[in-house]
Amino acid sequence: MELHTGSIVDSGKIEETAFREQLPFARRDSERYLSLSERTLHQLMSYLIGRKYLESVAEDMLRWAERCGLVDDRRYASIFIRSHSRNSPMGNFRIRMELKKRGIPESIIDEVLSERDESDLHRTLVKTVKNKYGYLEKQTRLRRARGYLQRRGFQYDLISRVMDEAFRNEGEQTD
């Protein structure tokens, strides 16, 4: 497409040309971004828009990445929950908040949280609380453990059960 002074420019042609020109670069950037770690569709879209790609190019890359299995919001949510059940336990409220922030749809969050193994989480929390706070003086231990679990987004009833089990051997009342 050659331009001369006084030429009439078709905006559709410009958009089409820009799309064709950006597509290979967007694909390269998407592959590199997705190779670093698991991502959500929302994160990929934000990344591409931040790199100043056309919205139509970014949407095309989302469809391509999803079709190829490079991005899967459900897989991301499952991995996130598994990781934060073992390494850095979080309650359902906090997990829900974190996944929403990453653009995961509510329906996927509900589905994945319903599959969470609560008994395994309970054991992990008891062990974590004992290891982190078991050596402290009684009142300090109880206050810090309860605060830790609250900040991690756990419900009061679970916090009480964990505290009771973690410090049961000492004959303490944890409420």
Per-residue pLDDT at 24: 95
Read off the amino acid at residue 140. Answer: T
Distances (CA, A) of 163 to 91, 129, 154, 156, 166: 15, 8, 12, 10, 5
Per-residue pLDDT at 68: 94
CATH topology of domain 118-170: Arc Repressor Mutant, subunit A (1.10.10)
Does 118-170 match 73-114 at the fold level? Answer: yes
pLDDT at 22 over 60: yes
The Cα 56–Cα 126 span in angstroms is 49
Which distant-in-sequence residues (6+ apart) come within 8 Å of 23 by Cβ? Answer: 57, 60
Per-residue pLDDT at 134: 85
pLDDT at 9 over 90: no
DSSP assignment letter at 88: S
Give the pLDDT mean for 102-112: 95
Burial class (CB in 10 A: 0-12, 13-18, 19+), 23: middle
CATH topology of domain 73-114: Arc Repressor Mutant, subunit A (1.10.10)
pLDDT at 29 over 60: yes
Per-residue pLDDT at 46: 96
Domain ranges of the chain: 11-67, 73-114, 118-170
What is the token pair recorded at 110?
């509900």
